[in-house]
Amino acid sequence: MHLTIPKDYDPKLTVRQTQEAIRYIRETFQDELGQELNLTRLSAPMFVEHSTGLNDNLNGIEQPVSFTMQDLPGQTLEIVHSLAKWKRVALKKYGFKMHEGLYTNMNAIRKDEDLDNLHSSYVDQWDWEKVIAQDERNEATLKATVRQVFKVIKHMEHEVWYKYPQAVHTLPEKIHFITTQELEDRYPELTPKQRENKICQELGAVFLMKIGGVLKSGQRHDGRAPDYDDWQLNGDILFWYEPLQCALEISSMGIRVDAQSLQAQLKEAKAQDRLQLPYHQMVLNAQVPYTIGGGIGQSRICMLLLGKAHIGEVQASAWPQAMLDQCAQHQIQIL
């Protein structure tokens, strides 16, 4: 367990006011995101069947919560880690056209998460996905979409300030772009997490690009599943978060794999056995559209905009008693 206690922390809002603000941010943000990116809301599953290959395996070491059902003999169902692959199939299934997309409320359980101020075993995010053309699988498309997402976040800052001026956390005016290799070259003596903190403190808001592959040092900046994002066309939206003196990841997003990048990344990850799974066969045979997509943390957005010290102030989850006791002593109001 790791817990950071900001000096002289003041939550600004009561628990009830915070709950009202959470509802307002969630309802408003999803409407504005849908309008900006041309997305339609869909319902999404909380669990998928293991053999489909649709679940996100994250860094490859986290184990999904799984179960069986009486009426589905021989099948193993898994609580989703994210809907990264499911969304792409849904775009095909529901007949979405070029530059149309979907968003959905995604609720997940990541039981192997290390709990701290920013990480919970309960994950709630807006998962979104949008159809693009094959020739739009490039850095220009990625950066333009990142700027659109950033625009929505900045507009939400103004909306929250109007309703809760005493509580809103001020955000930078622009977002900067840097690759993981550029970051390693810049700060070779630091760990990947220290590099993220350093660049975010310097620039305020950063889109850190090209996550998943091996860097010149022989190390990876961070793990990334090999079968949804193209590691050359993905990244994380990070903000410098003054209350906790660290980088705060708000979104992981990217252009999705095509047949070529899927095969190359599965080979690098030594996971070529997945090529036989139904989802992977669809990608190999061009039976799903080319897409860009990502996840935006709902609780993370609320935490960022309201300047909260702990993600447990904006979502209900499970926490060690020692953490709850420390938070109570410092006005951190865990729900």
Give the pLDDT mean for 50-55. 77
Cα distances (angstroms) measured from residue 4 to each of 29, 134, 330: 28, 45, 11
User: What is the Cβ-side half-sphere exposure of residue 310, based on CA atoms within 13 angstroms?
Assistant: 28
How far is residue 308's CA from residue 303's CA, in Å, rounded to a whole number?
Answer: 5
Report whether pLDDT(273) > 70: yes
* Cβ proximity of 161 and 153 under 8 Å: no
Q: What angle do CA 30, 136, 176 make, to 5 degrees?
A: 60
Quick one: pLDDT band at residue 197, thresholds 50, 70, 90?
very high
**Euclidean distance between the first and final Cα of the chain, in Å?**
18
Helix spans in the chain (H): 15-37, 84-93, 139-163, 180-186, 192-203, 259-268, 278-284, 298-306, 321-329
Looking at the annotation, which residues are catalytic? 56, 110, 125, 236, 249, 252
How confident is the model at residue 210, as a pLDDT?
96
Number of residues written out for the chain: 335
- φ and ψ of 199, to 5 deg: -70, -35
Residue 232, phi then psi, degrees to nearest 5: -90, -10
Q: Each residue of 114-128: pLDDT tens digit?
A: 899 999 989 999 999
CB atoms within 10 A of CB 316: 10
What's the rounded mean pLDDT across residues 55-66?
Answer: 72
Portion of the chain with pLDDT greater than 90, in percent? 73
DSSP 220: B
Alpha-carbon gap, residue 73 to 60, rounded angstroms: 27
Q: How far apart are CA 187 and CA 113, in angstroms?
A: 27
pLDDT digit string (tens) for 9-43? 999 999 999 999 999 999 999 999 999 999 999 99
Per-residue tokens: 220: 């990876």
| pLDDT exceeds cutoff 70 at 58 | no
Does residue 241 surpass a pLDDT of 90? yes
- Residue 290's pLDDT is what? 97
pLDDT tier, 61 (very low <50, low <70, confident <90, very high otherwise): low
Domains for the chain: give ranges and CATH numbers.
15-329 (3.30.930.10)
Reported as a pLDDT band with limits 50, 70 and 90, residue 289 is very high
